[in-house]
Amino acid sequence: MKRSVMNIWVPLLLLAAAISIVLPAKTLAAEDPLPSWNDTAPKEAIVAFVESVTKRDSPTFVPVTERIAVFDNDGTLWSEQPMYFQAFFAFDRVKALAAHHPEWKEKNPFKAVLENDMKALAATGEKGAVEVLMATHAGVTTEEFEGAVREWLATAKHPRFNRPFTDVIFQPMLELLVYLRGNGFKTFIVSGGGIEFMRPWTEEVYGIPPEQVIGSSIKTRFELREGRPVLVRLPEVDFIDDGPGKPIGIDSHIGRRPIAAFGNSDGDLQMLQYTAAGKGLHFCLYVHHTDADREWAYDRRSPIGRLDKGLDEAQAKGWTVVDMKKDWKEIYPK
């Protein structure tokens, strides 16, 4: 009798165990992968694209090795107003280094930075910007620069939101990164920002490791200091990863044409064009800043993150354009 009872209960217990394992998986699969996105056309387009390239029986199926997605950073993954965040870093570095450069008190563009005189700084033009960049980004080893970036990020806060700059990131885009990686995509940053400014923190913030970050760079030189090999950052521009430089950076760093590209400005146009010109199904998306209450509203006339030619091309080519005010439930992580 005992044996017959066990014969009945063992299969039932095994079935119950199997159900307890399967049910959570089904529940998880049914969850919305993009909860901060409203159920509007951009979200539908993203999901439809991902399903089209990941289903093996789909005529537009793309092997995992070819699922490359590239993202601009400034204005696409985090905010870029009232000025690029790397500029905040550079200005704070001028103030931190000023004690070692007493001549800066009387010399523009440094005088303008120290006095927070943005009008005088703007008058120095591109030449002044390069001077500030080189004074604050060069003359140190790559390890020393990484340490300076990490130290700054640990204390600096955005002037409008009074929260760390790495908190002023877009929650919907974080979800998109996770969603794509969960479907076999390899995600890259392709930014006009400095490559060594981004690499210290992108893995922690976006889940994108340093080897998958492409950006503008200055030249470096190998040296032995007290018998220890180091790379020293030089005051010379090496590569500008913006506009037409982005496809070049993609080709040299990745070696594969992306099938998905995400940007927010005319500086990303060539990257989206390059992606759209590839064989097979592709996906191009522009983040359009339309929410002055929760973030900022700007496009064609903005000196930062201008979206003019890119907006026209997106409309002409049928690329996806996200209206932040209408399409995103949340802007920043809570």
In this predicted structure, the answer to whether residue 20 has a pLDDT above a threshold of 70 is no
| Amino acid 30: pLDDT | 55
Torsion from C-alpha of 85, 104, 231, 193, nearest 10 degrees: 20
Residue-level length of the chain: 334
CA–CA separation, 172 and 184 (whole Å): 19
pLDDT tens digits, one per residue of 221-245: 999 999 999 999 999 999 999 999 9
**With bands split at pLDDT 50, 70 and 90, how would you rate the model's confidence at 153?**
very high
Relative orientation angle of helices 85-97 and 142-155, to the nearest 10 degrees: 100
Sign of the C-alpha dihedral computed for residues 15, 18, 22 and 24 taken in this order: positive
Residue pair 76/70 in contact (Cβ under 8 Å)? The answer is no
CA distances from residue 304 to 74, 75, 82, 152 in whole angstroms, order as listed: 10, 9, 8, 23
Full-model pTM: 0.90
| Amino acid 7: pLDDT | 43
**With bands split at pLDDT 50, 70 and 90, how would you rate the model's confidence at 135?**
very high
Annotate 179-201 with b (16+ C-beta within 10 A) or e (fewer).
bbeeeebbbbbbbbbbbbbbbbb
CATH fit for domain 34-81+168-327, picks 2.40.160.100, 3.40.1710.10, 3.40.50.1000, 3.40.50.300 = 3.40.50.1000
In this predicted structure, the answer to whether residue 326 has a pLDDT above a threshold of 80 is yes
CA–CA separation, 293 and 274 (whole Å): 34
Residue pair 174/202 in contact (Cβ under 8 Å)? The answer is no
Ordered by start, the domain boundaries in the chain are 34-81+168-327
Least confident among 18-22, 26-30, 181-185:
18-22
Beta bridge partners of 164: 157
